[in-house]
Amino acid sequence: MNPKTDKKLTDDLLHPLLHTSMKFYLAVAFFGSIVLVGFATWAYQIVTGIGVAGINSRVFWGFYLVNFVFWIGISHAGTLISAILRLCNATWRRPVTRCAEAITAFALIIGGMFPLIHLGRVWLFFWLIPYPSERGLWPNFRSPLVWDFFAISTYLLSSLLFLVLPMIPDFALLRDKTTGMRSKIYGFLSMGWQGTPKQWHRLETAMHIMAIAIIPIAISVHTVVSFDFSMAVVPGWHSTIFGPYFVTGAIFSGIAALIIAMAIIRRLLHLEEYLKPIHFHNLGKLLATMSLLWIYFLFNERLTVWYGNESHEQGLFWSIQTGEYSPFFWTMVVVNFVIPMVFLGIRRLRTITGTVIASIGIVIGMWLERFLIVIPSLSYKQLSYSWGSYTPQWPELTIMAATFAAMALLYIVFCKFIPIISIWELRVGTHPEMKAAESVAEAEAAGELV
Amino acid sequence: MKAIYALYLSPDSAQRAVDALHAAGYAKHEVAIVSSEPLEEYEFGQRDRETWMSGIAVAGGATGLIGAYLLTSMTQLSWPLNTGGMPIVSLYANMVPLFEMTMLGAVLATVATLVVTARLGRKGIEIYDKEVSDGKILIGVRNPPDDTISDLELAFGKAGPGVVKKIP
């Protein structure tokens, strides 16, 4: 332990919490107003009826469900990545984990709202909750929608706990570093944390067990979301590959979202010393791997449908390949595979800027993928009389924009009240043997970059 | 006197202080150690490692599994709803709720064990100093007999550069 390093580290990471600039208020006002417009639009939809959205009797799932799948996918950024890196004891993970876990919690909250928005009559949301009731509507545990409830609730609760537990020592530090009401609030949140060896061991054991538990939970969540589609005998949906395909896509988009978030907070909170090029470099390599895995699954999925030559699948297949949806499809291939391969595959380009450019493309590409899964399949069902079309309406577009603003708002507020980088975990990283391991990793990465 | 403690910047000094206290006859449970980070590379950081947390997590998972099985099967038997020709109690379809509840049981049991065994949520902090948050390590003794205070101060001083404080 070096007291100077410790002090600098603590001061740097607490600075955004203890000093508030005008930029913070402006950002909160800007994103907050978009979120308010989103809520007002939702209220308008509730009062007027779900007919204001573009969904119809043929294409009954639209942007709301596209965004639901998209945000649940983004949520795979954090807890899963963090758990894997924690179990692998990757020394470079320390500054990354909390940034990632926060994305998971917020993306799940946002994603979880879309089924409620899609319901229309949101006051009946409790019908989704599976419990034996006396209203004659007993839960059907064979329904993938009920599975969704179990999977998302479990993942949300586990992710929140996984995010909050390692915050307890940091709350204790904030309790000591602040005064007045803030100190009292942090004191309450720290739950009387002292830092005895017993407490440290229990916390680390709990985090280890939770990391083991949360990986299958995270994988199950997106598999269950894929079951919403693959359990239905609808062209393009009824596929055995959907589970791993969805999980791969979720991790892919999740890492991309994490890289974008890290780049923004690095710049805005002046955390250049902590979120280093090596973090972007390593996550970039992971992203490149996921890009290859994604194109592999996409090829499998497309080839099987094309080779099968089923008449009811062909209308859907060609509408995506060369028809009305082809601009979206080919854009998706370019931004999810071609651009990432250039920026992440070539060592010289795998810089912070390079990984961020690739990540922005991937987030757009993965949203398009969700769109191409949901909409065309409902537009081209087995019998041509049931074919339909879908055009999103302004409430759907407004609510979608509001959710992106909500993500930014939640992240900004989170960074204001909680250190975005775990201080105690970073302190452990300054221990001589940890430092040595990290230096070797950095040297290796630097060698690769040359 | 409620307690006497020393604050060290170096973990090596803290380790020497702990060793000196043991040599003076203080048992492990009588020596308080507080740090702002885990220091597992030192003997004093290795204390109280033994825990049943993993076993309790497994038990929590088993409880979740049994609870989910009872919830799904009893509900399905109470209201026999035919869905797509599946059996009324269809284990394949119930597998997802069963899995999720198992994992949820394990996670909740782990967190509950952490809260109870790490004594989180207790009111009041026994021996603590805000300087721990600056990276210092607290080594102390609770309720020391008055005639041992000077010996303790000497032992703390010999261990290395640190500040000795008392809680009257």
ipTM metric: 0.92
The three-class DSSP label of residue A60 is coil
When pLDDT is cut at 50, 70 and 90, the band that residue B3 belongs to is: confident
C-beta separation of A197 from B116 below 8 A: no
On whether any CB of chain A is under 8 Å from the CB of B33, the answer is yes
pLDDT at B153 exceeding the cut of 90: no
Query: pLDDT digit string (tens) for A169-219?
Result: 999 999 998 989 999 999 999 998 999 999 999 999 999 999 999 999 999
Q: What percent of chain A has pLDDT above 90?
A: 57
CA distance A35 to A38: 5
pLDDT tier, A3 (very low <50, low <70, confident <90, very high otherwise): low
- A34 falls in which pLDDT band (50, 70, 90)? very high
Which of chain B's residues have a Cβ under 8 Å away from the Cβ of A216?
99, 103
**pLDDT at A441 exceeding the cut of 70:** no
Q: CB-based contact (8 Å) between B58 and chain A?
A: no
Distance from CA of B25 to the nearest CA of A (A): 21
**Between B44, B120, B130, which is nearest A193 by CB?**
B120
Interface test with A, best of B15, B43, B49, B96 (most A CBs within 10 A): B96
Residues of A in contact with B128 (CB under 8 A): 194
Position A253 confidence tier, pLDDT thresholds 50, 70, 90: very high
Q: Where are the domains of chain A?
A: 23-121+141-449
Mark yes or no for CB contact B104/A157 under 8 Å: yes
Residue of B103, B108, B116, B132 to mutate, testing the A interface (most A Cβ within 10 Å of its Cβ): B103
Query: With 50 as the cut, is the pLDDT of residue A449 above it?
Result: no
Least confident of A94-98, A146-150, A446-450: A446-450
Nearest neighbour of A424 by CB, restricted to B37, B106, B119: B37
* Cα separations in angstroms, B63 against A155, A157, A229, B70, B108: 18, 18, 31, 11, 11
B21 belongs to a structural domain: yes
Q: How far is CA A194 from CA A173, A197, A335, A360, B33, in A?
A: 10, 9, 49, 42, 9
Nearest CA in chain A to B61: A213
Nearest CA distance, A191 vs chain B (angstrom): 4
The whole-number average pLDDT for the span B72-83 is 84
Q: Is the distance from CB of A332 to CB of A375 less than 8 angstroms?
A: no
Let me know whether B17 and B63 are in one domain: no
Residue A141 to residue B32, Cβ atoms within 8 A: no
Q: Residue A388: which pLDDT band, with cuts at 50, 70 and 90? A: confident
pLDDT of residue B67: 96
Starting at the earlier edge strand, list the strands of the sheet with B162-167. B31-34, B137-142, B3-8, B162-167
Query: Nearest-CA distance from B3 to chain A in Å?
Result: 16
The answer to whether A101 touches A163, Cβ cutoff 8 Å, is yes
Which parts of A130-241 fold into alpha helices (H)?
144-164, 168-177, 180-189, 197-230
Kindly report, residue by residue over A50-79, the tens digit of the pLDDT: 999 989 888 889 999 999 999 998 987 778
Judge whether residue A120 has pLDDT over 60.
yes
Would the pLDDT of A432 be above 70? no
- How far away is chain A from the Cα of B99, in angstroms, using its nearest Cα? 9
Nearest to A142 among B46, B47, B83 (CB): B83
Q: Give the model's pLDDT for residue A450.
A: 39
**Both B89 and B65 in a single domain?**
yes
pTM of the predicted model, to two decimals?
0.89
Q: Using CB atoms, which residue from B81, B99, B110 is nearest to A209?
A: B110
Interchain proximity A168–B120, CB inside 8 Å: yes
Count of structural domains, chain B: 2
Query: B31 — phi, psi (to 5°)?
Result: -100, 120
Question: Which of A1, A172, A194 minimises the CB distance to B11?
Answer: A1
A23-121+141-449 carries CATH number 1.20.1630.10: yes
> Please, which pLDDT band fits residue B108 given cuts at 50, 70 and 90?
very high
Say how far apart CA A37 and CA A44 lie, in whole Å: 10
Q: Which of A10, A161, A205 sits opposite B51 (nearest CB)?
A: A205
Residue percentage of chain A with pLDDT more than 70: 92
pLDDT of residue A352 exceeding 50, the answer is yes
**Residue B6 is inside which H or E element, if any?**
strand B3-8
Q: Span A152-160, mean pLDDT?
A: 92
A126-135 tens-digit pLDDT: 776 666 566 6
Predicted confidence band of residue A425 (pLDDT cuts 50, 70, 90): confident
Q: Which of A231-240, A333-342, A420-429, B14-23 has the highest mean pLDDT?
A: A333-342
CATH classification at residue B20: 3.30.70.120
User: Is there a domain that residue B112 lies in?
Assistant: yes
Mean of all residue pLDDT scores within chain A: 88
Write out chain A residues lying below 8 Å of B11, CB-based. Answer: 1
Residue numbers in A near B84 (CB within 8 A): 142
Nearest to residue A226, comparing CAs of A214, A209, A243, A210?
A243
Q: Domain span at residue B143? A: 3-37+135-167
